[in-house]
Amino acid sequence: MNGWLLTAGTVAAATTLIHATAGGRTVLRPLLHSTVAAEPKHTLHVVWHMVTADLLLSSIALLALAFTTAPSTALVLFIAAHYLAYAVLFLTITLTADWPRPLLKLPQWLLLLPVAVLAFVSTA
């Protein structure tokens, strides 16, 4: 068993759960009840669920890889890069917005970055 991947998969699964529950309440529902035009609203609705599926599948993959005797380094690095990209996107958008205390306004990076780091470390 690879403890780094087990931890990465567990944090990724928790991130998926938070995204689906708390995020659904605070982000998706207000969007769906907003006055945004129908096409962008439904596109964002689909993208929301695409991210949910993406987070779920990658957390399952990390957890499965944790119990594999020789996990695929390429797959682990792909998932790590994927989470790193998400974290960088959240940090970039957050830090370029004109908000007080921006790092706490969109804190998703706090869950995404550790998954990337743990997965990268697992390959060393």
Residue whose C-alpha is closest to residue 119's, from 61, 73, 80, 64: 80
Instruction: Decide: 81 and 63 in contact? Cβ < 8 Å.
Output: no
pLDDT by 10s per residue, the chain, length 124: 999 999 999 999 999 999 999 999 999 999 999 999 999 999 999 999 999 999 999 999 999 999 999 999 999 999 999 999 999 999 999 999 988 888 888 999 999 999 999 999 999 8
Give the pTM.
0.92
Q: Which domain holds residue 107?
A: 3-122
Q: For the packed helices 3-18 and 73-96, what is the interaxial angle rounded to 10 degrees? A: 40
- Please give the tally of structural domains in the chain: 1
